[in-house]
A = this chain, B = another copy of it.
Amino acid sequence: MSLIVHKYGGTSMGSVERIKNVARRVAKWHAAGHQVVVVPSAMSGETNRLLGLAREISESADGRELDMIAATGEQASSGLLAIALQAAGLQARSYAGWQVPVRTDSAYTKARITAIDDKRIRADLDAGRVVVVTGFQGVDDEGHITTLGRGGSDTSAVAVAAALKADECLIYTDVDGVYTTDPRVEPDARRLSVISFEEMLEMASLGSKVLQIRSVEFAGKYRVPTRVLSSLTDPDIPLDEEMRSGTLITFEEDEKMEAAVVSGIAFSRDEAKVTLLGVPDKPGVAYAILGKVADANIDVDMIVQNQSVAGTTDFSFTVHRNEFARTLALLTSQVAPAVGASSVVSDDKVAKVSIVGIGMRSHAGVASLMFKTLAAENINIQMISTSEIKTSVLIEDKYMELAVRALHKAFGLETAAPTKI
């Protein structure tokens, strides 16, 4: 007997029929002798509907009240799933976040889980019940309801799995796993049967939408074996087949994983670049620039400072495209005069393309194959940023799909066999 946590996204919970299918799938696992905890999202569209009403009333709504409102979508779907499980012949009980309780800090609309009490869940599991834990929400130390931000149900599920020391956390979603890149861009993209935690973390932070990044962090911190798999298969497919499907996030670097130099290609069009030209090069200049940007609550992604020439340097960084206008206004009105920059140039027609692979740690030449491939396609690289297991480049955004496809081919990702470099 294993203890398994299932998480179902909004699409999987999107209608009465789909909720019944979720119940059938859970019943199959229960019938095979497993203890099951289920974490459902709100029915698709519900969170947007609720927050849309709040926005109609006020554009600057209080976070505490937004969480009161948003938390109801998941609570309703949890009750509906419990009823569907009972109709499928199981004993089931649903709990709102505060009932477990799932404790969080008080950062409304983007709270972080601090602790999960497993007593109530365990007592129900031991009594033979399936337990439905409402995702996306918790309760702070003062008893106020909090939510975890978009995609937070992934984090709820992994955190519950960690608290219960579950054998596996299954994230059921509308894709059947993690791919080498987005199949809509590269039709030869291949599903990975395993991916290392570190690679998944990079993929998530670089724009892959499969898992919320904080859920991956949680999985890593507590070493929760986590599998991304499809909720759109027949709920009655054989259990052993389902147990091997999808993509498993692992924490051991086995031989198979060593063999792959690059596991996937991530990309994001949410980028904008700003450059301060002719900045006098003296100690403290980076802080003088980025300190002001941080004070304005703008997240900076890639940062490049060029070699000083004749005592001045050019300083570039990227921000989310939504923050582009605000960043540019801040730089021209305050930062550039303060640091004595000669001018500000900017570009929001850029995209970031990244190769990710744990094998890059021990393989030289990976980055240079990337640069060679892009050069062969006549794609100019504007910025480069590297970490131990990924290399990202900023390019003109119209070349993004071309770059992804060329790199996918160059690193041989369409087959499971490793690429020689």
Contact = CB atoms under 8 A, between A and B. Distances in A.
Interface of A: 16, 19-20, 50, 53-54, 56-58, 61-62, 64-69, 71-73, 75-76, 78-80, 82-84, 86-87, 92-94, 96, 98-99, 143-145
Contacts of A93: 64-65
B143 A57 contact: no
Indicate how many identical chains form the complex.
2
Contact of A68 (B54, B64, B66, B75): B75
Contacts of A65: 79-80, 82-83, 86, 92-94
B84 A68 contact: no
Nearest to A139: B99
B78 A61 contact: no
B50 A62 contact: no
Contacts of A69: 75-76, 79-80, 83
A16 B57 contact: yes
Nearest to A82: B65
A93 B80 CA distance: 28
A93 B142 CA distance: 13
A62 B86 CA distance: 8
Q: What 9 pairs between A and B have smallest CB-CB spacing? A: A68-B79, A72-B72, A69-B79, A58-B87, A16-B56, A65-B82, A65-B79, A61-B83, A72-B76
A78 to B, nearest CB: 7
Contacts of A76: 50, 53, 68-69, 72
A66 B80 CA distance: 8
B72 A75 contact: yes
A409 to B, nearest CB: 47
A328 to B, nearest CB: 30
- A19, A64, A80, A99, most chain B CB atoms within 10 A: A80
A369 B92 CA distance: 59
A156 B73 CA distance: 23
A58 B86 contact: yes
B80 A57 contact: yes
A208 to B, nearest CB: 32
A62 B93 CA distance: 9
Contacts of A92: 65
Contacts of A66: 79, 83
A86 B72 contact: no
Contacts of A72: 72-73, 75-76
Contacts of A58: 83-84, 86-87
A65 B68 CA distance: 19
Contacts of A94: 65, 68
A143 B54 contact: no
Nearest to A134: B68
